[in-house]
């Protein structure tokens, strides 16, 4: 089978399209013909070498799968060949999704929502699971509360806005002015141009000085320390970014704030929750661009660019043309 192989860490050019053996499902596993995958910031972080001890080279990376079951291993009864499925591979535990075939534990695999194309489904597995874990599980966002979603036009951000609205929260988000219409179309109530206005000033003005109940950090930098400036009492901050620099959280102490750090855990339950939202018309991933398996280096380069202009996700058509 064809696979995009990572033989060394570095820029997008280190990828090499190679022929590798087709995997064979073992007990409890399914073999999936990958129809689509997608690109996430985690993917280029792995490629450039942010987690060298966790990614033995050469490696097949990639963290989203939408495809069709081709075979099942012993003991698998939940799926049969021909089932359309979606899932996030177990990160740092075996080959990823930049390949024509992938094997996965049946326990992390879900049936693909029939209303989504493979490109759409592959654009939601990782970011959707991340948003669900961040807002529903860790922050415990409830109806009537408010949330600030940083980076509302991005992969996790545009899904988090939709999830927060499904949970009946008021949504504030930060984006560039060019993404205002998109953020509103996802359901954002108040959109802030972070390039023209300090978001903390905007939040406190819009909330009458109260602040928001939850902040979702998708951008890093000094967001952890600055979140205290916009939090209501007993507010919660959830970050999906690995931030190396120390930050002073003394202001958060005064707000009785809690901080949560999320690294997505794979399970079928999250996929089933997302499927229910999709069936009710409360969530749909946005595919902003599509590349082929061979053009994954170009897709990485684009997403890594500070001004890439992508709304939602970059999807990869593994089977068929983009």
Q: Which domains does the chain have, with CATH numbers?
A: 2-124+285-317 (3.90.180.10), 127-261 (3.40.50.720)
- Compute the distance between CA of residue 217 and CA of residue 149 in angstroms, rounded to an integer: 7
With CA atoms as reference, report the closest residue to 5 among 103, 123, 100: 100
Q: What pLDDT, on a 0 to 100 scale, did the predictor assign at position 264?
A: 82
| pLDDT tens by residue, 243-295 | 777 888 888 999 999 999 998 877 888 999 999 999 999 999 999 999 999 99
Tens digit of pLDDT for each residue in 121-163?
999 999 999 999 999 999 999 999 999 999 999 999 999 999 9
Q: CA-CA distance, 178 to 199, in Å (whole number)?
A: 17
With a cut of 70, list the residues of the chain below it in pLDDT.
321
Query: Structure tokens of 162?
Result: 């939709």
The predicted pLDDT at position 284 comes to 96
Tell me what pLDDT residue 242 has.
Answer: 82
- Cα–Cα nearest to 25, from 76, 84, 100, 63: 76
Residue 200 has which token pair? 């903390």
Q: Between helices 268-279 and 155-166, what is the axis angle to 10°?
A: 70
pTM of the model: 0.95
């Amino acid at each position: 089978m064809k696979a995009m192989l990572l033989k060394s860490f570095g820029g997008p050019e280190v990828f090499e399209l190679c022929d590798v053996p087709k995997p064979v499902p073992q007990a409890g596993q399914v073999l999936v013909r990958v129809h689509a995958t997608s690109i996430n910031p985690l993917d280029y972080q792995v490629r450039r070498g942010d987690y060298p001890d966790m990614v033995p080279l050469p490696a097949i990376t990639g963290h989203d799968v939408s495809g069709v079951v081709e075979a099942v291993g012993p003991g698998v009864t939940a799926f049969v060949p021909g089932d359309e499925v979606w899932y996030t591979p177990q990160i740092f535990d075996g080959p990823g999704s930049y390949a024509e075939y992938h094997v996965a534990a049946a326990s992390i695999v879900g049936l693909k929502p029939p209303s989504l194309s493979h490109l759409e489904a592959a654009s939601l597995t990782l970011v959707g699971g991340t948003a669900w874990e961040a807002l529903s599980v860790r922050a415990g966002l409830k109806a009537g509360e408010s949330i600030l979603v940083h980076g509302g036009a991005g992969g996790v951000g545009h899904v988090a806005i939709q999830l927060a609205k499904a949970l009946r929260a008021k949504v504030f988000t930060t984006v560039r002015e060019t993404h205002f219409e998109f953020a509103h179309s996802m359901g954002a109530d108040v959109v802030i141009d972070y390039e023209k206005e300090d978001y903390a000033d905007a939040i406190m003005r819009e909330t009458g000085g109260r602040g928001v109940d939850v902040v979702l950090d998708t951008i890093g930098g000094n967001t952890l320390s600055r979140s205290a400036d916009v939090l209501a009492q007993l507010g919660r901050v959830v970050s999906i970014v690995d931030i190396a620099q120390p930050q002073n959280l003394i202001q958060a102490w005064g707000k009785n704030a809690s901080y949560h750090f999320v690294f997505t855990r794979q399970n079928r339950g999250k996929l089933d929750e997302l499927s229910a939202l999709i069936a009710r018309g409360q969530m749909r991933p946005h595919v902003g661009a599509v590349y082929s398996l061979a053009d994954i280096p170009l897709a990485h380069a684009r997403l890594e660019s500070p001004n890439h202009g992508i709304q939602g996700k970059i999807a990869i058509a593994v089977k068929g043309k983009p």
